Amino acid sequence: MEKTRKLILVGDSAFAEIAYEYFTHDSPYEVAAFAVERAYLKRSELFGVPVVPFEELPERFDPQATWFYAALVYTQGNALRRRLYEAAKAMGFSPASYVSPHAFVWRNARLGEHCFIFENNVIQPFVTIGDNVVLWSGNHIGHHSAIGDHCFLSSHVVVSGFCRVGPSCFFGVNSTMGNNLSVGADCLVGAGALILGDVGEGEKVVGVWKKR
């Protein structure tokens, strides 16, 4: 695929390595650098690409001609990814997204900016995905549902139809949300959890969550 855009990957951990693979081999983006906050900078290159201080990005790259992706997981309840995403935008860089060609995204589903949608996700009609959302591989987002900004859904999560997930939530592998339910902001849903009732803001969900 022809490379037409320069990209900075914020982070240099495992997700950054994975993002490098996807953007390099399956997108029009060419990774020009990894960026890490100066206090956490421990190496000068990764995959032959320079690792530079995040704070120096505007001095090293033209914000008007360079995109970025903050390749960070759910650390600090998604707050770290949100902070660096917002900081890079404030520097003037444009947010990039990756949507796998092996994901099923229905024509009227709406995806926000700075999203990473892995392979085998199913995003059904009338779904809304917010900004800065990660959908790891193999999730099902049912029709008329909405996923809020800054969420992270790990693999094989099922969100059924007419559901609402608030911002900055984390869903563990194989968790399931029934129809017509809502999960408030800043919730942590454990692996294998089954949601059968609405969940308030800031809750931790394990096992079976029933109506209260």
pLDDT tens sequence across 9-21: 999 999 999 999 9
- CA dihedral over 78, 45, 66, 92, signed as positive or negative: positive
Residue at token pair 């999203």 = 115
pLDDT tens sequence across 140-194: 999 999 999 999 999 999 999 999 999 999 999 999 999 999 999 999 999 999 9
Residue at token pair 């190496």 = 43
Query: What phi, psi does 54 have (nearest 5°)?
Result: -55, -40
pLDDT of residue 145: 99
pLDDT of residue 91: 98
pLDDT of residue 212: 66
pLDDT at 202 over 80: yes
pLDDT at 65 over 70: yes
pLDDT at 101 over 80: yes
pLDDT of residue 211: 73
**Chain mean position to CA 184:** 18
Spans of all domains in the chain? 5-95, 97-197
Nearest 5 degrees, angle CA 99-CA 102-CA 103? 60
Average pLDDT, the chain: 97
CA–CA dist 190, 195 (Å, integer): 10
| Over residues 102-129, mean pLDDT | 98
pLDDT of residue 1: 79
| Fold of the domain spanning 97-197 | UDP N-Acetylglucosamine Acyltransferase; domain 1 (2.160.10)
CA–CA dist 142, 121 (Å, integer): 11
| Fold of the domain spanning 5-95 | Rossmann fold (3.40.50)
Cβ pair 142, 157 in contact under 8 A: no
CA–CA dist 124, 191 (Å, integer): 23
pLDDT at 35 over 80: yes
What amino acid is encoded at 98 in this protein? Y
